[in-house]
C-alpha cells in the first residue's frame, strides 16, 4: 500500500494526496451483486431537511457485501479485488465452488486466486471466517459480529483491526481499534487479518470540489452564524462563541453521551482512551 503526492501544477493538485490503485484488478463490478443507490440530500420521507451539509455527489451503485459469511465448508476463490465507492476499504469478489458469488471486505495481503473458507473447522488463515472460540489467542481479526448470526459490525473500515486477547467462559475478550476492551460471545464469527487499504487515512482531498464529488456540501461553523441560528453565534466582531456546543445546545467537549444504564455496559471491561 502507498499514496501518491501530486506535484503543485494547479491549486487543486498542490495539497492533493491520493491512494494508489495497484491492487485493484477489475474496473466494473459484478452485475448480480449491485443495485442503484438513491441519495436523499439529507431529506426525510416528508421532504424536510434533517441532516445538513449533504447532497449532490457522483452517482453510485451499492455493492452487496457478505458480512455473515454463512456458507460454511464451501471453498471460495478470490476472482478480483475491486474499488467500492461506498466504503474506505477495498472489496474482494468470491466465486464459491457451488457457483455462488459474493463480495467481502478485502483484508491486507489477499491476492487474486487465493482460496478462503468459513466455518468452525477452518484453519485460522488470512480471509477465513470462523467463530471466536476457534481463533487462537493473540490473532488480529476484523469483521467481528456482536451477536451470533447478525453479521459483522466491528472493524470494517480501511486499516482497522481488533485483537483477540483471551477467553472467559462463553465469552471472548477482544481489544477494539478504539482501545476499548470488551467481551463478545465466543460463538460470534470474525475474519482473520487486517482490513486492507491502510493508507486511506493519509489521503488529502486537495480541493473543495472533491468533497462535493463525495456528496459533502460546505459546512458552516456555528461562531459565524447569528444567535437565531446557533447558540455560539452573534457578538460584536470576532467573538469566540462561548462554550462549544451543537446547534441544539448539546455540549461538544467532554459531555458523556452514552446512556448510563445501557445494558451492554457490563460487557465493556475497559473504556476507550480519550
* Residues 147-182 pLDDT 10s: 999 999 999 999 999 999 999 999 999 999 999 999
- With beta carbons less than 8 A apart as the criterion, state whether 269 and 183 touch: yes
Residue 1 has pLDDT above 70, yes or no: no
Per-residue pLDDT of 203-220, as tens digits, reads 999 999 999 999 999 999
One-letter-per-residue 3-state SS of 100-116? CEEEEECECCCCCCCEE
Q: Which domains are delineated in the chain? A: 3-201 (2.40.50.140), 225-269 (4.10.950.10)
- Element (DSSP H or E) covering residue 269: strand 268-270
Q: Which cell numbers hold the place of 178?
A: 478504539
* SS3 assignment, position 46: coil
Smallest CA-to-CA distance from 192 within 132, 113, 121 is with: 132
Say which DSSP state 204 is in.
B
Tell the residue number behind the cell numbers 491549486, with chain if given: 11
The percent of residues in the chain predicted with pLDDT above 70, rounded, is 99
Smallest CA-to-CA distance from 144 within 61, 37, 267 is with: 267
46-68 mean pLDDT: 96
The residue ranking higher by pLDDT, 107 or 238, is: 107
Strand partners, 171: 168, 185
Per-residue pLDDT of 102-128, as tens digits, reads 999 999 999 999 999 999 999 999 999
Question: Which pLDDT score, from 0 to 100, does residue 246 have?
Answer: 92
pTM recorded for the entire structure = 0.91
* SS3 assignment, position 200: helix
189-211 mean pLDDT: 95
Say which DSSP state 137 is in.
T
Residue 273 has pLDDT above 90, yes or no: no
DSSP 166-183: EEETTEEEEE-TTS-EEE
**pLDDT band at residue 81 under the 50/70/90 scheme:** very high
- With beta carbons less than 8 A apart as the criterion, state whether 153 and 141 touch: no
Question: Which pLDDT score, from 0 to 100, does residue 242 have?
Answer: 84
CA atoms within 13 A on the CB side of 204: 11
Strand partners, 105: 91
Question: Which pLDDT score, from 0 to 100, does residue 264 have?
Answer: 92
Spatial strand order in the sheet of 76-82: 101-105, 91-96, 76-82, 115-116
- How many residues are recorded in the chain? 274
Q: Which cell numbers hold the place of 181?
A: 476492551
Residue 274 has pLDDT above 80, yes or no: no
What distances in angstroms separate CA 55 from CA 7, 37, 46, 129, 178, one per listed residue?
30, 13, 16, 37, 30
DSSP 53-71: TB------EEEPB--S---
Amino acid at each position: 500500500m502507498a499514496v501518491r503526492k501530486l506535484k503543485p501544477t494547479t491549486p487543486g493538485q498542490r495539497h492533493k494526496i491520493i491512494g494508489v490503485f495497484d491492487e485493484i484488478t477489475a474496473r466494473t463490478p459484478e452485475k448480480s451483486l449491485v443495485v442503484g443507490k438513491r441519495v436523499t440530500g439529507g431529506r426525510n420521507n416528508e421532504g424536510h431537511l434533517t441532516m445538513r451539509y449533504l447532497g449532490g455527489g457522483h452517482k453510485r451503485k451499492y455493492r452487496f457485501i457478505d458480512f455473515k459469511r454463512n456458507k460454511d465448508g464451501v471453498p471460495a476463490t478470490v476472482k478480483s479485488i475491486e474499488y467500492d465507492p461506498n466504503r474506505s476499504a477495498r472489496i474482494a469478489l468470491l466465486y464459491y465452488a457451488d457457483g455462488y458469488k459474493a463480495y467481502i471486505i478485502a483484508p491486507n495481503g489477499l491476492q487474486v486466486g487465493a482460496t478462503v473458507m468459513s466455518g468452525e473447522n477452518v484453519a485460522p488463515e488470512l480471509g477465513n471466517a470462523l467463530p471466536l472460540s476457534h481463533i487462537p489467542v493473540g490473532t488480529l481479526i476484523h469483521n467481528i459480529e456482536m451477536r451470533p448470526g447478525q453479521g459483522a459490525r466491528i472493524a470494517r473500515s480501511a486499516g482497522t483491526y481488533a485483537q483477540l486477547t483471551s477467553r472467559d467462559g462463553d465469552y471472548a475478550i477482544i481489544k477494539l481499534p478504539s482501545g476499548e476492551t470488551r467481551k463478545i460471545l465466543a460463538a460470534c464469527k470474525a475474519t482473520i487479518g487486517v482490513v486492507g487499504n491502510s493508507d486511506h487515512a493519509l489521503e488529502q482531498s486537495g480541493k473543495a470540489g472533491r468533497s462535493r464529488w463525495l456528496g459533502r456540501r460546505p459546512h458552516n461553523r456555528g461562531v459565524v452564524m447569528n444567535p437565531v441560528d446557533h447558540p455560539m453565534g452573534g457578538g460584536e466582531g470576532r467573538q469566540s462563541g462561548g462554550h462549544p456546543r451543537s446547534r441544539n445546545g448539546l455540549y461538544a467537549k467532554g459531555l458523556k453521551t452514552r446512556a448510563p444504564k445501557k445494558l451492554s455496559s457490563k460487557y465493556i471491561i475497559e473504556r476507550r482512551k480519550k
